[in-house]
């Protein structure tokens, strides 16, 4: 990210508290994350001390009530944090995103009072979470999962494998979905709170990815993993509803990540085109370059407003599932396009790791895939329109 911000600032009106919060995250991202971004990407390893700083800054319990150790904030505040982090590093953003919009969100809505009291004081201070739904044969068809849960009196035994689990390498608590009554189909799916140290639980292969390389994406192996009865989250057989409703909020978080990535790429392109000279002048002086940037900025602002709107609706207690799907769809497409144009404006240097354009381009691609592919978002939107 360039030293001087040159891209348009968000036009949405923010409260004084929101402005101060966003500025604090921006300063943190620039001063404490940015210096390590290239090395973490190259090593495919996130620095654990930065994760701890997320906790220290209160970024890992944004919506959690203060009585449980959180900040008592809103999903909109989480969006601001995710966007500012992604502007510097999409991997940093996804640690905060998954922990807040998936793990904390699910426990807040579906956990018992005892579970919240037991876990949130640590989940807001040092215990990273992960959300484990996907399997080798269960991606967009999330309810085809093969992991089984068998009741054994005072505990449950989970058997199966989970794939593509974000935060899997570092998380200490996992929300894992398994089918307790396969004969009932998706109505047998149940959510479990699984601690890393539970018997029969292990972390498998870590994926070597194209983008968000510093973020860990792993396999989870469950071999008759013993889970106490008190760690069933929500009613048995209600896992399908928990997963769907949790992912609705999660899509707002991915939208925030994508507008952050797009914004970082646009800023980098503006700074570079001011410095790069061809035919006796900076290339930013050419109208063709200016028009491309104007289109990028317009697309970015449209995506941002869609994400912000979905977050505001959720905070207001209004229906937001369709708007979240639209925001996730459009912002991921926008990031894909904007990062591609940014790379092209760098010319040959855009293809080199010496400049940030290629990383923004790689990081953007995942937005159209995880937490619901673009086709799944279109299906959600179409169903809402035809209802």
Q: DSSP 3-state assignment of 210?
A: coil
Cα–Cα distance measured from residue 128 to residue 264, given in angstroms and rounded to the nearest whole number: 26
For residues 152 and 225, is the Cβ–Cβ distance under 8 A? no
Q: What share of the chain is helix, strand, coil (3-state, %, to 5)?
A: 60, 15, 25
Place of tokens 């940015």: 34
Cα–Cα distance measured from residue 376 to residue 383, given in angstroms and rounded to the nearest whole number: 11
What one-character-per-residue DSSP string does 267-304 give? HHHHHHHHH-EETTEEGGGSHHHHHHHHHHHHHHHHHH
Place of tokens 């001063």: 31
Cα–Cα distance measured from residue 14 to residue 378, given in angstroms and rounded to the nearest whole number: 30
For residues 225 and 159, is the Cβ–Cβ distance under 8 A? yes
Nearest CA-CA partner of 13 in 96, 81, 80, 59: 80
Cα–Cα distance measured from residue 167 to residue 363, given in angstroms and rounded to the nearest whole number: 16
Which residues are within 8 A (CB) of 369 and not within 5 positions of it... i.e. 6 or more apart?
none
Residue among 83, 135, 157, 371 flagged as catalytic: 371
Cα–Cα distance measured from residue 359 to residue 90, given in angstroms and rounded to the nearest whole number: 9
Q: DSSP 3-state assignment of 320?
A: coil
Which neighbouring-strand residues pair with 132?
176
371 tagged catalytic = yes
For residues 35 and 328, is the Cβ–Cβ distance under 8 A? no
Q: DSSP 3-state assignment of 378?
A: helix
Nearest CA-CA partner of 123 in 78, 163, 174: 174
Cα–Cα distance measured from residue 252 to residue 75, given in angstroms and rounded to the nearest whole number: 9
Positions marked active-site: 371
């Amino acid at each position: 990210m360039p030293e001087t911000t040159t891209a348009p600032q968000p036009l949405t009106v923010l409260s004084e508290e929101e402005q101060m919060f966003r500025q604090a995250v921006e300063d943190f991202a620039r001063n404490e994350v940015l210096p390590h971004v290239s090395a973490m990407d190259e090593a495919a390893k996130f620095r654990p001390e930065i994760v701890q700083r997320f906790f220290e800054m209160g970024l890992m319990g944004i919506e959690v009530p203060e009585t449980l150790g959180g900040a008592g904030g809103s999903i909109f505040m989480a969006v601001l944090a995710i966007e500012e982090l992604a502007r510097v590093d999409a991997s940093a953003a996804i640690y905060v995103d998954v922990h807040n919009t998936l793990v904390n969100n699910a426990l807040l809505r579906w956990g018992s009072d005892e579970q919240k009291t037991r876990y949130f004081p640590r989940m807001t201070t040092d215990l990273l979470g992960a959300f484990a739904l996907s399997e080798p044969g269960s991606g967009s068809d999330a309810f085809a999962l093969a992991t089984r849960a068998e009741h054994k009196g005072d505990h449950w035994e989970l058997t199966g494998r989970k794939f593509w689990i974000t935060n899997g390498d570092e998380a200490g608590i996992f929300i894992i979905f398994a089918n307790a009554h396969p004969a009932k189909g998706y109505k047998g799916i149940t959510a479990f709170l699984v601690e890393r140290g539970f018997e029969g639980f292990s972390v498998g292969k870590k994926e070597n990815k194209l983008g968000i390389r510093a973020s860990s994406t792993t396999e989870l192996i469950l071999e008759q993993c013993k889970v106490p009865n008190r760690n069933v989250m929500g009613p048995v057989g209600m896992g399908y509803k928990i997963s769907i409703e949790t992912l609705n909020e999660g899509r707002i978080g991915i939208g925030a990540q994508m507008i952050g990535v797009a914004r970082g790429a646009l800023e980098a392109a503006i700074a570079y085109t001011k410095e790069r000279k061809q035919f006796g002048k900076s290339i930013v002086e050419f109208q063709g370059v200016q028009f491309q940037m104007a289109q990028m900025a317009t697309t970015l602002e449209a995506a941002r407003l869609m994400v912000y709107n979905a977050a505001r609706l959720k905070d207001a207690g209004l229906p937001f599932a369709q708007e979240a799907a639209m925001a996730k769809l459009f912002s991921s497409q926008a990031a894909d396009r904007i990062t591609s144009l940014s790379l092209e404006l760098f010319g040959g240097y855009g293809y080199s790791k010496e400049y940030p354009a290629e990383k923004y381009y790689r990081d953007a691609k995942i937005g159209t895939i995880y937490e619901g592919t673009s086709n799944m978002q279109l299906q959600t939107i179409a169903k809402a329109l035809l209802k």
